Every structure is written in structure tokens, then in C-alpha cells.
Amino acid sequence: MKLLIAGDVCMGHGRCYGIAPDIVTYDDEGYPTIRDELLAVPDDRIEAAEELAANCPEEAISIVDA
């Protein structure tokens, strides 16, 4: 499974890194540092990645099955 955060949609609310700071980190402006990149999600963090996607107010986070 992979995670994708759409940089053109993300508004930097911070819910994602508040939920799973081990998966999503943020920059000095409060935006996720992995915007527009596919991030491999470890098997033991799949549930957290799904929670990230479900809690994004802009629906900027997508889960990609690989």
C-alpha cells in the first residue's frame, strides 16, 4: 500500500501528522513534506494510513494499492 498527498489540494490543517507523525512529517509552513510523492506504508501502519485518508478535510490523501 502507498499513500499520496495531493499538494494542490492540501491546505496544511495538520490532521495527518497529528494522527501519525511517524508516517507524515511537516515543513516550516505546516504542510506535509511528502506532498505529490508516493510513500510506501509499512504493513503495520496500514490502519493508520487509512485513518489519515479518512480524516483529511480536503480529501487530499489517497490510498494506492500496490
Distance CA 47, CA 14 (A): 18
* pLDDT (0 to 100) of residue 25: 92
* pLDDT (0 to 100) of residue 66: 63
Q: What is the CATH number of the domain that holds 31?
A: 3.30.70.20
In order along its 66 residues, the chain shows pLDDT tens digits of 999 999 999 999 999 999 999 999 999 999 999 899 999 999 999 999 999 999 999 999 999 986
Distance CA 30, CA 13 (A): 8
| Domain count for the chain | 1
Distance CA 28, CA 33 (A): 9
- The secondary structure element, H or E, covering residue 55 is helix 46-55
Cell numbers that stand for 24 in this block: 507524515
Give one DSSP letter per residue of 25-42, joined into a string.
Answer: -B-TTS-BTTBTSEEEPP
Domain boundaries, position 28: 2-64
* pLDDT (0 to 100) of residue 48: 95
